Structure 1
Protein backbone atom coordinates (compact mmCIF):
# COMPACT_ATOMS: atom_id res chain seq x y z
CA UNK A 1 0.00 0.00 0.00
CA UNK A 2 1.24 3.53 -0.78
CA UNK A 3 2.69 5.60 2.08
CA UNK A 4 -0.01 8.29 1.99
CA UNK A 5 -3.16 6.41 0.89
CA UNK A 6 -5.54 7.99 -1.55
CA UNK A 7 -9.12 8.42 -0.41
CA UNK A 8 -12.13 8.88 -2.68
CA UNK A 9 -14.00 12.02 -1.61
CA UNK A 10 -16.91 13.20 -3.73
CA UNK A 11 -15.40 12.43 -7.11
CA UNK A 12 -11.72 13.02 -6.36
CA UNK A 13 -8.79 10.93 -5.17
CA UNK A 14 -7.23 12.86 -2.30
CA UNK A 15 -4.28 11.98 -0.01
CA UNK A 16 -5.62 10.71 3.31
CA UNK A 17 -3.70 13.34 5.28
CA UNK A 18 -5.45 16.16 3.47
CA UNK A 19 -8.88 14.60 2.86
CA UNK A 20 -11.75 16.63 4.34
CA UNK A 21 -15.52 16.72 4.47
CA UNK A 22 -17.76 19.58 5.60
CA UNK A 23 -18.55 20.01 9.30
CA UNK A 24 -22.14 20.46 8.13
CA UNK A 25 -22.25 16.95 6.69
CA UNK A 26 -25.13 15.15 8.42
CA UNK A 27 -23.02 12.04 8.85
CA UNK A 28 -20.72 14.08 11.09
CA UNK A 29 -23.54 15.96 12.81
CA UNK A 30 -25.96 13.09 13.45
CA UNK A 31 -24.34 9.81 12.45
CA UNK A 32 -26.77 9.92 9.53
CA UNK A 33 -25.14 7.61 7.04
CA UNK A 34 -24.52 4.02 5.99
CA UNK A 35 -21.33 2.12 5.25
CA UNK A 36 -19.70 -1.18 4.38
CA UNK A 37 -16.45 -2.87 5.43
CA UNK A 38 -14.93 -4.92 2.61
CA UNK A 39 -11.95 -7.24 2.83
CA UNK A 40 -9.08 -7.57 0.35
CA UNK A 41 -7.10 -10.81 0.60
CA UNK A 42 -4.13 -11.53 -1.70
CA UNK A 43 -5.46 -9.04 -4.23
CA UNK A 44 -9.03 -10.36 -4.20
CA UNK A 45 -12.07 -8.42 -3.00
CA UNK A 46 -14.50 -10.85 -1.37
CA UNK A 47 -18.25 -10.55 -1.98
CA UNK A 48 -17.89 -7.12 -3.61
CA UNK A 49 -21.30 -7.18 -5.27
CA UNK A 50 -23.02 -8.31 -2.07
CA UNK A 51 -21.41 -5.48 -0.11
CA UNK A 52 -22.44 -2.87 -2.67
CA UNK A 53 -25.97 -4.26 -2.77
CA UNK A 54 -26.25 -4.06 1.02
CA UNK A 55 -24.88 -0.51 1.01
CA UNK A 56 -27.65 0.55 -1.34
CA UNK A 57 -30.34 -1.36 0.58
CA UNK A 58 -29.26 0.43 3.77
CA UNK A 59 -29.30 3.77 1.96
CA UNK A 60 -32.78 3.08 0.55
CA UNK A 61 -34.09 2.22 4.01
CA UNK A 62 -32.70 5.50 5.36
CA UNK A 63 -33.97 7.41 2.30
CA UNK A 64 -30.42 8.55 1.54
CA UNK A 65 -29.69 9.19 -2.15
CA UNK A 66 -26.13 8.08 -3.08
CA UNK A 67 -24.36 10.35 -5.59
CA UNK A 68 -23.40 7.40 -7.83
CA UNK A 69 -25.11 4.26 -9.10
CA UNK A 70 -24.25 0.81 -7.70
CA UNK A 71 -22.13 0.05 -10.78
CA UNK A 72 -20.23 3.34 -10.34
CA UNK A 73 -19.67 2.81 -6.61
CA UNK A 74 -18.37 -0.68 -7.32
CA UNK A 75 -15.94 0.72 -9.90
CA UNK A 76 -14.69 3.39 -7.49
CA UNK A 77 -14.12 0.80 -4.74
CA UNK A 78 -11.97 -1.22 -7.13
CA UNK A 79 -10.18 1.95 -8.20
CA UNK A 80 -9.32 2.89 -4.60
CA UNK A 81 -8.01 -0.62 -3.89
CA UNK A 82 -5.96 -0.68 -7.10
CA UNK A 83 -4.47 2.79 -6.97
CA UNK A 84 -3.32 2.21 -3.38
CA UNK A 85 -1.83 -1.19 -4.27
CA UNK A 86 -3.86 -2.60 -1.38
CA UNK A 87 -3.31 -6.37 -1.64
CA UNK A 88 -4.31 -7.29 1.92
CA UNK A 89 -6.50 -4.96 3.93
CA UNK A 90 -9.85 -3.31 4.17
CA UNK A 91 -11.82 -0.67 2.32
CA UNK A 92 -14.77 1.28 3.71
CA UNK A 93 -17.30 3.03 1.44
CA UNK A 94 -19.45 5.50 3.40
CA UNK A 95 -22.54 7.30 2.13
CA UNK A 96 -23.83 10.10 4.34
CA UNK A 97 -27.11 11.97 4.13
CA UNK A 98 -25.22 14.92 2.63
CA UNK A 99 -24.22 18.43 3.59
CA UNK A 100 -26.41 20.66 5.83
CA UNK A 101 -27.58 23.20 6.79
CA UNK A 102 -27.48 22.19 10.44
CA UNK A 103 -30.64 20.97 12.17
CA UNK A 104 -32.85 17.91 11.89
CA UNK A 105 -35.38 20.06 10.08
CA UNK A 106 -32.93 20.41 7.20
CA UNK A 107 -32.86 16.65 6.59
CA UNK A 108 -35.71 16.56 4.10
CA UNK A 109 -34.11 19.33 2.07
CA UNK A 110 -30.91 17.40 1.35
CA UNK A 111 -31.26 15.90 -2.10
CA UNK A 112 -28.03 13.90 -2.50
CA UNK A 113 -25.57 12.18 -0.21
CA UNK A 114 -21.80 12.34 0.04
CA UNK A 115 -19.59 9.36 -0.81
CA UNK A 116 -16.22 8.63 0.78
CA UNK A 117 -14.14 5.49 0.22
CA UNK A 118 -11.28 4.90 2.68
CA UNK A 119 -8.61 2.16 2.34
CA UNK A 120 -6.90 0.70 5.40
CA UNK A 121 -4.26 -1.82 6.34
CA UNK A 122 -5.46 -3.36 9.59
CA UNK A 123 -3.86 -6.09 11.63
CA UNK A 124 -5.64 -9.43 11.73
CA UNK A 125 -5.69 -12.14 14.34
CA UNK A 126 -3.12 -14.88 13.93
CA UNK A 127 -4.43 -18.43 13.74
CA UNK A 128 -2.90 -19.07 17.14
CA UNK A 129 -4.95 -16.19 18.55
CA UNK A 130 -8.18 -17.07 16.74
CA UNK A 131 -8.03 -20.85 17.10
CA UNK A 132 -5.51 -22.29 19.57
CA UNK A 133 -5.92 -19.62 22.23
CA UNK A 134 -9.29 -18.24 21.19
CA UNK A 135 -11.00 -15.11 22.44
CA UNK A 136 -12.46 -14.27 25.84
CA UNK A 137 -15.98 -12.87 25.73
CA UNK A 138 -18.22 -11.17 28.22
CA UNK A 139 -21.97 -10.60 28.13
CA UNK A 140 -22.37 -6.83 28.52
CA UNK A 141 -25.27 -5.00 30.09
CA UNK A 142 -25.74 -2.78 27.03
CA UNK A 143 -28.66 -4.23 25.05
CA UNK A 144 -28.72 -4.41 21.28
CA UNK A 145 -30.99 -1.73 19.83
CA UNK A 146 -34.25 -3.63 19.20
CA UNK A 147 -35.59 -4.02 15.66
CA UNK A 148 -38.70 -2.10 16.69
CA UNK A 149 -36.46 1.01 16.96
CA UNK A 150 -33.90 0.61 14.16
CA UNK A 151 -33.93 -2.32 11.76
CA UNK A 152 -30.66 -4.23 12.29
CA UNK A 153 -30.38 -4.83 8.54
CA UNK A 154 -29.36 -1.18 8.16
CA UNK A 155 -25.57 -0.91 8.46
CA UNK A 156 -25.63 2.58 9.89
CA UNK A 157 -22.76 4.86 10.86
CA UNK A 158 -24.65 5.57 14.10
CA UNK A 159 -22.62 3.29 16.39
CA UNK A 160 -23.37 4.63 19.89
CA UNK A 161 -24.91 1.30 20.93
CA UNK A 162 -21.87 -0.72 19.86
CA UNK A 163 -19.38 1.79 21.30
CA UNK A 164 -20.98 1.54 24.73
CA UNK A 165 -20.79 -2.25 24.46
CA UNK A 166 -17.08 -2.10 23.56
CA UNK A 167 -16.38 0.17 26.52
CA UNK A 168 -18.07 -2.34 28.82
CA UNK A 169 -16.07 -5.16 27.22
CA UNK A 170 -12.76 -3.37 27.80
CA UNK A 171 -13.74 -2.59 31.39
CA UNK A 172 -14.22 -6.34 31.89
CA UNK A 173 -10.83 -7.13 30.34
CA UNK A 174 -12.44 -9.20 27.57
CA UNK A 175 -11.77 -9.50 23.83
CA UNK A 176 -15.39 -9.61 22.67
CA UNK A 177 -18.66 -8.03 23.81
CA UNK A 178 -21.74 -10.24 23.51
CA UNK A 179 -24.95 -8.23 23.37
CA UNK A 180 -28.37 -9.48 24.39
CA UNK A 181 -31.65 -8.25 23.00
CA UNK A 182 -34.16 -6.47 25.20
CA UNK A 183 -35.94 -9.85 25.44
CA UNK A 184 -32.93 -11.45 27.17
CA UNK A 185 -31.93 -13.61 24.20
CA UNK A 186 -28.52 -13.54 22.50
CA UNK A 187 -28.32 -11.04 19.65
CA UNK A 188 -24.80 -10.41 18.34
CA UNK A 189 -21.46 -8.92 19.32
CA UNK A 190 -20.46 -5.27 19.08
CA UNK A 191 -19.10 -5.78 15.57
CA UNK A 192 -19.53 -9.47 14.81
CA UNK A 193 -22.14 -12.17 14.34
CA UNK A 194 -22.18 -15.10 16.77
CA UNK A 195 -22.61 -18.83 16.21
CA UNK A 196 -22.88 -21.79 18.56
CA UNK A 197 -22.42 -25.50 17.86
CA UNK A 198 -24.18 -28.15 19.94
CA UNK A 199 -24.21 -31.85 18.97
CA UNK A 200 -23.20 -30.97 15.42
CA UNK A 201 -25.99 -28.42 14.89
CA UNK A 202 -24.86 -24.93 13.89
CA UNK A 203 -27.08 -22.14 15.22
CA UNK A 204 -27.03 -18.35 14.92
CA UNK A 205 -29.63 -15.73 15.97
CA UNK A 206 -32.27 -15.02 13.30
CA UNK A 207 -31.75 -12.20 10.84
CA UNK A 208 -34.69 -10.14 12.09
CA UNK A 209 -32.74 -9.36 15.30
CA UNK A 210 -29.14 -8.96 14.00
CA UNK A 211 -27.20 -7.47 11.13
CA UNK A 212 -27.34 -10.01 8.32
CA UNK A 213 -23.58 -10.24 7.99
CA UNK A 214 -22.12 -11.25 4.65
CA UNK A 215 -19.56 -13.53 6.31
CA UNK A 216 -22.39 -14.88 8.49
CA UNK A 217 -24.42 -15.83 5.43
CA UNK A 218 -21.38 -17.37 3.75
CA UNK A 219 -20.77 -19.60 6.78
CA UNK A 220 -24.40 -20.76 6.75
CA UNK A 221 -23.95 -21.71 3.08
CA UNK A 222 -20.61 -23.46 3.63
CA UNK A 223 -21.64 -25.70 6.53
CA UNK A 224 -22.42 -29.18 5.25
CA UNK A 225 -24.45 -30.21 8.31
CA UNK A 226 -27.57 -28.89 10.00
CA UNK A 227 -27.34 -25.07 10.04
CA UNK A 228 -30.22 -22.95 11.27
CA UNK A 229 -31.24 -19.48 12.39
CA UNK A 230 -32.62 -19.90 15.87
CA UNK A 231 -33.29 -18.17 19.16
CA UNK A 232 -30.30 -18.63 21.50
CA UNK A 233 -30.46 -18.27 25.27
CA UNK A 234 -27.59 -17.60 27.65
CA UNK A 235 -27.79 -21.23 28.77
CA UNK A 236 -27.55 -22.44 25.16
CA UNK A 237 -24.41 -20.38 24.67
CA UNK A 238 -22.73 -21.31 27.97
CA UNK A 239 -23.41 -25.02 27.38
CA UNK A 240 -22.40 -25.11 23.70
CA UNK A 241 -19.67 -27.41 22.38
CA UNK A 242 -18.26 -24.54 20.30
CA UNK A 243 -18.88 -20.80 20.04
CA UNK A 244 -17.36 -18.59 17.35
CA UNK A 245 -17.78 -15.17 15.79
CA UNK A 246 -17.67 -14.02 12.18
CA UNK A 247 -17.02 -10.68 10.50
CA UNK A 248 -15.27 -9.31 7.44
CA UNK A 249 -11.90 -8.76 9.13
CA UNK A 250 -12.25 -11.42 11.81
CA UNK A 251 -13.23 -14.12 9.30
CA UNK A 252 -13.89 -16.91 11.86
CA UNK A 253 -12.58 -16.79 15.44
CA UNK A 254 -13.28 -19.13 18.34
CA UNK A 255 -14.74 -17.91 21.62
CA UNK A 256 -13.10 -20.13 24.23
CA UNK A 257 -14.49 -18.53 27.39
CA UNK A 258 -17.57 -16.47 28.23
CA UNK A 259 -17.91 -14.73 31.58
CA UNK A 260 -15.17 -16.94 32.97
CA UNK A 261 -16.82 -20.17 31.75
CA UNK A 262 -14.70 -22.36 29.50
CA UNK A 263 -16.43 -23.24 26.23
CA UNK A 264 -15.91 -26.81 25.05
CA UNK A 265 -12.30 -27.91 25.37
CA UNK A 266 -11.01 -24.34 25.78
CA UNK A 267 -9.69 -24.18 22.23
CA UNK A 268 -11.32 -23.96 18.79
CA UNK A 269 -13.48 -26.98 18.02
CA UNK A 270 -13.39 -29.04 14.82
CA UNK A 271 -16.34 -27.31 13.15
CA UNK A 272 -14.91 -23.84 13.82
CA UNK A 273 -11.58 -24.91 12.29
CA UNK A 274 -13.27 -26.57 9.33
CA UNK A 275 -15.38 -23.52 8.54
CA UNK A 276 -12.37 -21.18 8.63
CA UNK A 277 -10.64 -23.37 6.03
CA UNK A 278 -13.75 -23.41 3.83
CA UNK A 279 -14.18 -19.65 4.12
CA UNK A 280 -10.58 -19.02 3.10
CA UNK A 281 -10.97 -21.34 0.14
CA UNK A 282 -14.07 -19.42 -0.95
CA UNK A 283 -12.21 -16.10 -0.62
CA UNK A 284 -9.30 -17.39 -2.73
CA UNK A 285 -11.56 -18.85 -5.41
CA UNK A 286 -14.46 -16.40 -5.58
CA UNK A 287 -12.99 -13.00 -4.72
CA UNK A 288 -12.84 -10.32 -7.43
CA UNK A 289 -9.27 -10.19 -8.77
CA UNK A 290 -7.99 -6.62 -8.85
CA UNK A 291 -5.81 -5.49 -11.78
CA UNK A 292 -3.48 -3.05 -10.06
CA UNK A 293 -1.45 -1.97 -13.07
CA UNK A 294 -4.48 -0.42 -14.79
CA UNK A 295 -4.73 2.29 -12.14
CA UNK A 296 -1.10 3.41 -11.92
CA UNK A 297 -1.97 6.49 -14.00
CA UNK A 298 -4.40 7.58 -11.25
CA UNK A 299 -1.63 7.42 -8.68
CA UNK A 300 0.76 9.39 -10.88
CA UNK A 301 -1.79 12.12 -11.65
CA UNK A 302 -2.67 12.67 -7.99
CA UNK A 303 0.98 12.62 -6.89
CA UNK A 304 1.84 15.33 -9.42
CA UNK A 305 -0.69 17.85 -8.11
Structure 2
Protein backbone atom coordinates (compact mmCIF):
# COMPACT_ATOMS: atom_id res chain seq x y z
CA UNK A 1 0.00 0.00 0.00
CA UNK A 2 1.86 3.05 -1.29
CA UNK A 3 1.20 6.40 0.37
CA UNK A 4 0.38 9.29 -2.00
CA UNK A 5 2.86 12.13 -2.00
CA UNK A 6 2.27 15.75 -0.99
CA UNK A 7 0.02 17.59 -3.40
CA UNK A 8 1.33 21.17 -3.03
CA UNK A 9 4.45 22.60 -1.44
CA UNK A 10 3.72 23.62 2.15
CA UNK A 11 5.31 26.62 3.81
CA UNK A 12 8.46 25.43 5.65
CA UNK A 13 6.87 25.88 9.07
CA UNK A 14 4.01 23.55 8.09
CA UNK A 15 6.10 20.70 6.69
CA UNK A 16 5.53 18.58 9.83
CA UNK A 17 1.81 19.33 9.87
CA UNK A 18 -0.70 21.99 10.84
CA UNK A 19 -2.72 22.57 14.00
CA UNK A 20 -5.66 24.59 15.26
CA UNK A 21 -6.21 25.35 18.94
CA UNK A 22 -9.10 27.40 20.28
CA UNK A 23 -9.39 29.66 17.24
CA UNK A 24 -5.75 29.87 16.15
CA UNK A 25 -3.94 28.09 13.30
CA UNK A 26 -0.26 27.24 13.75
CA UNK A 27 2.45 24.75 12.73
CA UNK A 28 1.89 21.49 14.59
CA UNK A 29 5.28 21.76 16.29
CA UNK A 30 4.04 24.92 18.01
CA UNK A 31 0.75 23.43 19.23
CA UNK A 32 0.48 23.09 23.01
CA UNK A 33 -2.10 22.54 25.73
CA UNK A 34 -1.77 24.50 29.02
CA UNK A 35 -0.69 22.19 31.83
CA UNK A 36 -3.46 23.42 34.15
CA UNK A 37 -6.25 22.44 31.76
CA UNK A 38 -8.46 19.44 32.44
CA UNK A 39 -7.68 18.05 29.03
CA UNK A 40 -4.11 17.52 30.23
CA UNK A 41 -4.54 16.94 33.96
CA UNK A 42 -7.64 14.72 33.83
CA UNK A 43 -7.63 13.31 30.27
CA UNK A 44 -10.94 15.17 30.03
CA UNK A 45 -10.99 14.92 26.26
CA UNK A 46 -13.01 13.35 23.51
CA UNK A 47 -11.59 13.01 20.02
CA UNK A 48 -12.05 11.55 16.58
CA UNK A 49 -9.67 10.79 13.73
CA UNK A 50 -10.49 10.97 10.04
CA UNK A 51 -8.21 9.85 7.25
CA UNK A 52 -7.26 11.60 4.02
CA UNK A 53 -6.09 9.42 1.13
CA UNK A 54 -5.22 10.59 -2.36
CA UNK A 55 -6.60 14.05 -1.62
CA UNK A 56 -9.94 12.88 -0.18
CA UNK A 57 -11.39 12.69 3.30
CA UNK A 58 -13.10 9.33 3.97
CA UNK A 59 -16.56 9.39 5.56
CA UNK A 60 -15.98 12.87 6.97
CA UNK A 61 -19.65 13.41 7.81
CA UNK A 62 -19.75 10.12 9.77
CA UNK A 63 -16.70 11.14 11.79
CA UNK A 64 -18.12 14.58 12.52
CA UNK A 65 -21.43 13.05 13.66
CA UNK A 66 -19.64 10.62 15.99
CA UNK A 67 -17.44 13.43 17.32
CA UNK A 68 -20.46 15.62 18.06
CA UNK A 69 -22.24 12.75 19.82
CA UNK A 70 -19.17 12.22 22.03
CA UNK A 71 -18.97 15.96 22.78
CA UNK A 72 -22.59 15.97 23.92
CA UNK A 73 -22.11 12.82 26.02
CA UNK A 74 -19.35 14.59 27.97
CA UNK A 75 -21.36 17.81 28.45
CA UNK A 76 -18.97 19.86 26.35
CA UNK A 77 -19.87 22.92 24.29
CA UNK A 78 -17.11 24.11 21.94
CA UNK A 79 -17.74 27.34 20.07
CA UNK A 80 -17.39 25.81 16.59
CA UNK A 81 -20.32 24.35 14.66
CA UNK A 82 -20.01 21.12 12.66
CA UNK A 83 -19.67 23.11 9.46
CA UNK A 84 -16.88 25.20 11.01
CA UNK A 85 -15.06 22.10 12.22
CA UNK A 86 -15.21 20.63 8.72
CA UNK A 87 -13.71 23.81 7.26
CA UNK A 88 -10.95 23.80 9.90
CA UNK A 89 -9.99 20.22 9.00
CA UNK A 90 -9.89 21.01 5.30
CA UNK A 91 -7.73 24.04 5.97
CA UNK A 92 -5.27 22.08 8.11
CA UNK A 93 -4.70 19.48 5.39
CA UNK A 94 -4.35 22.26 2.84
CA UNK A 95 -1.84 24.18 4.98
CA UNK A 96 0.30 21.06 5.32
CA UNK A 97 -0.02 20.31 1.60
CA UNK A 98 -0.84 16.66 2.21
CA UNK A 99 -2.34 14.14 -0.20
CA UNK A 100 -2.61 11.60 2.63
CA UNK A 101 -3.04 12.62 6.23
CA UNK A 102 -3.95 11.57 9.74
CA UNK A 103 -6.38 14.26 10.90
CA UNK A 104 -7.42 14.47 14.53
CA UNK A 105 -10.12 16.61 16.13
CA UNK A 106 -10.30 16.93 19.90
CA UNK A 107 -12.59 18.70 22.33
CA UNK A 108 -11.07 19.26 25.75
CA UNK A 109 -11.85 21.09 28.93
CA UNK A 110 -9.81 23.99 30.20
CA UNK A 111 -9.36 25.24 33.75
CA UNK A 112 -12.00 26.92 35.96
CA UNK A 113 -11.91 30.67 36.40
CA UNK A 114 -10.13 31.87 39.56
CA UNK A 115 -12.27 31.39 42.64
CA UNK A 116 -14.45 28.65 41.18
CA UNK A 117 -14.28 25.00 42.36
CA UNK A 118 -12.32 22.62 40.13
CA UNK A 119 -15.45 20.98 38.78
CA UNK A 120 -15.78 20.18 35.07
CA UNK A 121 -18.99 22.18 34.91
CA UNK A 122 -16.90 25.28 35.65
CA UNK A 123 -14.42 24.63 32.85
CA UNK A 124 -14.82 25.95 29.31
CA UNK A 125 -14.41 23.37 26.54
CA UNK A 126 -12.56 24.18 23.32
CA UNK A 127 -11.35 22.61 20.12
CA UNK A 128 -7.89 21.31 19.21
CA UNK A 129 -7.20 19.78 15.78
CA UNK A 130 -4.18 18.77 13.75
CA UNK A 131 -3.23 17.24 10.41
CA UNK A 132 0.03 15.32 9.98
CA UNK A 133 1.36 12.89 7.36
CA UNK A 134 -0.46 9.57 7.18
CA UNK A 135 0.20 7.13 10.01
CA UNK A 136 -0.76 3.46 10.01
CA UNK A 137 -1.33 1.11 12.94
CA UNK A 138 0.18 -1.72 10.88
CA UNK A 139 3.61 -1.56 9.30
CA UNK A 140 4.33 -2.72 5.76
CA UNK A 141 5.73 -5.95 7.22
CA UNK A 142 2.55 -6.55 9.22
CA UNK A 143 0.41 -6.11 6.12
CA UNK A 144 2.59 -8.59 4.21
CA UNK A 145 2.80 -11.34 6.84
CA UNK A 146 -0.35 -10.57 8.80
CA UNK A 147 -0.58 -9.07 12.27
CA UNK A 148 0.47 -11.17 15.26
CA UNK A 149 -2.13 -10.72 18.00
CA UNK A 150 -2.60 -11.95 21.55
CA UNK A 151 -5.53 -11.89 23.93
CA UNK A 152 -4.39 -9.84 26.89
CA UNK A 153 -4.88 -10.70 30.55
CA UNK A 154 -5.75 -7.02 31.03
CA UNK A 155 -9.51 -6.45 30.97
CA UNK A 156 -11.07 -3.56 29.08
CA UNK A 157 -12.47 -0.70 31.18
CA UNK A 158 -16.12 -1.75 31.65
CA UNK A 159 -18.90 0.21 29.92
CA UNK A 160 -20.43 0.79 33.34
CA UNK A 161 -17.36 2.88 34.19
CA UNK A 162 -16.98 4.69 30.86
CA UNK A 163 -18.94 4.31 27.64
CA UNK A 164 -16.49 2.91 25.03
CA UNK A 165 -18.57 4.40 22.20
CA UNK A 166 -17.39 7.83 23.40
CA UNK A 167 -13.88 8.06 21.93
CA UNK A 168 -11.49 8.97 24.72
CA UNK A 169 -7.93 9.14 26.04
CA UNK A 170 -8.49 6.66 28.90
CA UNK A 171 -5.82 4.32 27.60
CA UNK A 172 -4.46 2.90 30.86
CA UNK A 173 -5.78 -0.60 30.13
CA UNK A 174 -4.83 -0.47 26.45
CA UNK A 175 -1.32 0.79 27.17
CA UNK A 176 -0.72 -1.87 29.80
CA UNK A 177 -1.89 -4.57 27.37
CA UNK A 178 0.48 -3.30 24.67
CA UNK A 179 3.47 -3.86 26.94
CA UNK A 180 2.15 -7.35 27.68
CA UNK A 181 1.94 -8.03 23.93
CA UNK A 182 5.46 -6.72 23.38
CA UNK A 183 6.81 -9.01 26.10
CA UNK A 184 5.05 -11.97 24.45
CA UNK A 185 6.47 -11.16 21.00
CA UNK A 186 3.11 -10.11 19.53
CA UNK A 187 2.41 -6.96 17.53
CA UNK A 188 -0.76 -5.96 19.35
CA UNK A 189 -3.18 -7.01 22.05
CA UNK A 190 -6.91 -7.70 22.04
CA UNK A 191 -8.81 -7.15 25.29
CA UNK A 192 -11.67 -9.07 26.88
CA UNK A 193 -14.52 -7.74 28.97
CA UNK A 194 -15.36 -9.07 32.44
CA UNK A 195 -17.59 -11.76 30.88
CA UNK A 196 -14.73 -13.13 28.80
CA UNK A 197 -15.91 -11.69 25.49
CA UNK A 198 -13.73 -9.94 22.91
CA UNK A 199 -13.93 -6.12 22.84
CA UNK A 200 -11.23 -4.31 20.83
CA UNK A 201 -7.52 -3.61 20.57
CA UNK A 202 -5.48 -0.44 21.14
CA UNK A 203 -7.01 1.86 18.54
CA UNK A 204 -8.75 -0.75 16.36
CA UNK A 205 -11.86 -2.90 16.07
CA UNK A 206 -11.57 -6.65 15.54
CA UNK A 207 -13.37 -9.25 13.45
CA UNK A 208 -13.14 -13.01 13.20
CA UNK A 209 -14.37 -15.32 10.45
CA UNK A 210 -15.85 -18.78 11.08
CA UNK A 211 -17.26 -20.87 8.21
CA UNK A 212 -17.22 -17.78 5.94
CA UNK A 213 -19.30 -15.73 8.41
CA UNK A 214 -17.72 -12.38 9.35
CA UNK A 215 -18.32 -11.52 13.02
CA UNK A 216 -17.53 -8.50 15.19
CA UNK A 217 -18.24 -7.81 18.89
CA UNK A 218 -21.62 -6.39 19.84
CA UNK A 219 -20.46 -4.38 22.86
CA UNK A 220 -17.50 -3.12 24.81
CA UNK A 221 -15.88 -1.33 21.87
CA UNK A 222 -16.00 1.88 19.88
CA UNK A 223 -18.48 1.87 17.01
CA UNK A 224 -15.80 2.19 14.37
CA UNK A 225 -16.35 4.02 11.09
CA UNK A 226 -14.09 1.50 9.35
CA UNK A 227 -16.00 -1.29 11.13
CA UNK A 228 -19.19 0.14 9.61
CA UNK A 229 -17.48 0.20 6.22
CA UNK A 230 -16.45 -3.46 6.53
CA UNK A 231 -20.05 -4.49 7.22
CA UNK A 232 -21.11 -2.59 4.09
CA UNK A 233 -18.42 -4.41 2.08
CA UNK A 234 -19.66 -7.75 3.39
CA UNK A 235 -23.13 -6.93 2.06
CA UNK A 236 -21.63 -5.94 -1.30
CA UNK A 237 -19.70 -9.22 -1.53
CA UNK A 238 -22.63 -11.35 -0.39
CA UNK A 239 -20.82 -12.38 2.79
CA UNK A 240 -22.90 -13.11 5.86
CA UNK A 241 -21.98 -10.87 8.80
CA UNK A 242 -22.99 -10.86 12.45
CA UNK A 243 -22.61 -8.41 15.33
CA UNK A 244 -22.67 -10.43 18.54
CA UNK A 245 -20.65 -11.56 21.54
CA UNK A 246 -17.45 -13.46 20.70
CA UNK A 247 -15.81 -15.58 23.39
CA UNK A 248 -12.06 -15.79 23.73
CA UNK A 249 -12.18 -19.46 22.74
CA UNK A 250 -14.15 -18.75 19.56
CA UNK A 251 -11.76 -15.95 18.64
CA UNK A 252 -8.66 -18.10 19.17
CA UNK A 253 -10.12 -20.88 17.01
CA UNK A 254 -11.36 -18.67 14.18
CA UNK A 255 -10.58 -19.46 10.54
CA UNK A 256 -9.45 -15.86 10.00
CA UNK A 257 -8.98 -12.72 12.08
CA UNK A 258 -8.56 -9.13 11.00
CA UNK A 259 -8.54 -5.70 12.58
CA UNK A 260 -9.70 -2.38 11.20
CA UNK A 261 -9.27 1.30 11.93
CA UNK A 262 -9.08 4.71 10.27
CA UNK A 263 -5.27 4.57 10.56
CA UNK A 264 -4.73 1.47 8.45
CA UNK A 265 -8.03 0.34 6.97
CA UNK A 266 -8.52 -3.45 7.00
CA UNK A 267 -5.51 -5.22 8.55
CA UNK A 268 -5.51 -9.05 8.39
CA UNK A 269 -3.89 -11.13 11.14
CA UNK A 270 -1.94 -14.35 10.77
CA UNK A 271 -1.40 -15.33 14.43
CA UNK A 272 -3.44 -15.30 17.62
CA UNK A 273 -1.84 -16.32 20.91
CA UNK A 274 0.88 -18.10 18.93
CA UNK A 275 -1.59 -20.10 16.82
CA UNK A 276 -0.89 -19.74 13.10
CA UNK A 277 -3.80 -19.12 10.78
CA UNK A 278 -3.81 -19.74 7.01
CA UNK A 279 -0.25 -21.10 6.98
CA UNK A 280 0.91 -18.00 8.84
CA UNK A 281 -0.42 -15.62 6.21
CA UNK A 282 -3.39 -13.24 5.88
CA UNK A 283 -6.60 -15.15 5.16
CA UNK A 284 -8.39 -15.07 1.79
CA UNK A 285 -11.61 -13.37 2.94
CA UNK A 286 -9.71 -10.82 5.04
CA UNK A 287 -7.47 -10.04 2.07
CA UNK A 288 -10.46 -9.73 -0.24
CA UNK A 289 -12.06 -7.21 2.13
CA UNK A 290 -8.80 -5.28 2.47
CA UNK A 291 -8.29 -5.06 -1.29
CA UNK A 292 -11.89 -4.04 -1.93
CA UNK A 293 -11.71 -1.39 0.80
CA UNK A 294 -8.73 0.31 -0.83
CA UNK A 295 -9.93 -0.09 -4.41
CA UNK A 296 -13.23 1.57 -3.50
CA UNK A 297 -11.36 4.31 -1.67
CA UNK A 298 -9.36 4.95 -4.85
CA UNK A 299 -12.64 5.16 -6.80
CA UNK A 300 -13.98 7.88 -4.47
CA UNK A 301 -16.15 5.83 -2.10
CA UNK A 302 -17.56 8.10 0.65
CA UNK A 303 -15.02 10.72 -0.44
CA UNK A 304 -14.93 14.46 0.29
CA UNK A 305 -12.23 16.19 -1.79
CA UNK A 306 -9.87 18.34 0.27
CA UNK A 307 -10.41 22.04 -0.33
CA UNK A 308 -6.79 22.94 -0.92
CA UNK A 309 -7.68 26.53 -1.83
CA UNK A 310 -8.25 27.17 1.91
CA UNK A 311 -4.49 27.14 2.50
CA UNK A 312 -4.43 30.84 1.65
CA UNK A 313 -7.08 31.66 4.26
CA UNK A 314 -5.54 31.56 7.75
CA UNK A 315 -6.84 33.62 10.63
CA UNK A 316 -4.59 34.94 13.35
CA UNK A 317 -6.33 34.44 16.69
CA UNK A 318 -5.33 34.76 20.35
CA UNK A 319 -3.44 32.07 22.22
CA UNK A 320 -5.67 29.66 24.27
CA UNK A 321 -5.39 30.31 28.00
Aligned runs of 1:64-143 on 2, under 5 Å? 64-100=76-112, 105-110=118-123, 112-124=124-136, 125=138, 129-130=142-143, 132-143=144-155
Structure 1 residue 216 corresponds to structure 2 residue 227: yes
Decide whether the 8 Å contact of 1:240 with 1:264 is kept in 2.
no
Instruction: State the 1:105 CA deviation.
Output: 3.6
Decide whether the 8 Å contact of 1:83 with 1:298 is kept in 2.
no
State the partner residue of 1:266. 280
State the partner residue of 2:293. 279
Instruction: State the 1:101 CA deviation.
Output: 5.3
Instruction: State the 1:281 CA deviation.
Output: 3.0
Counterparts of 1:181 and 1:221, CA distance in 2: 26
Instruction: State the 1:152 CA deviation.
Output: 1.0
State the partner residue of 2:70. 58
Aligned runs of 1:225-304 on 2, under 5 Å? 225-284=239-298, 285=300, 286-292=302-308, 294-298=309-313
Instruction: State the 1:104 CA deviation.
Output: 7.5
Counterparts of 2:196 and 2:278, CA distance in 1: 23
Decide whether the 8 Å contact of 1:176 with 1:189 is kept in 2.
yes
Instruction: State the 1:127 CA deviation.
Output: 5.8
SS in 2 for 1:37: strand
Decide whether the 8 Å contact of 1:137 with 1:259 is kept in 2.
yes
Instruction: State the 1:98 CA deviation.
Output: 2.6
Decide whether the 8 Å contact of 1:24 with 1:100 is kept in 2.
no
Counterparts of 1:200 and 1:176, CA distance in 2: 24
Instruction: State the 1:128 CA deviation.
Output: 5.5
SS in 2 for 1:113: strand
Structure 1 residue 19 corresponds to structure 2 residue 31: yes
TM-score w.r.t. the length of structure 2 is 0.87
Counterparts of 1:104 and 1:221, CA distance in 2: 48
Decide whether the 8 Å contact of 2:37 with 2:109 is kept in 1.
yes
After superposition, the Cα gap between the structure-2 partners of 1:5 and 1:250, relative to the gap in structure 1 and judged at 3 Å, is closer
Instruction: State the 1:170 CA deviation.
Output: 1.8
Q: How many residues align?
A: 297
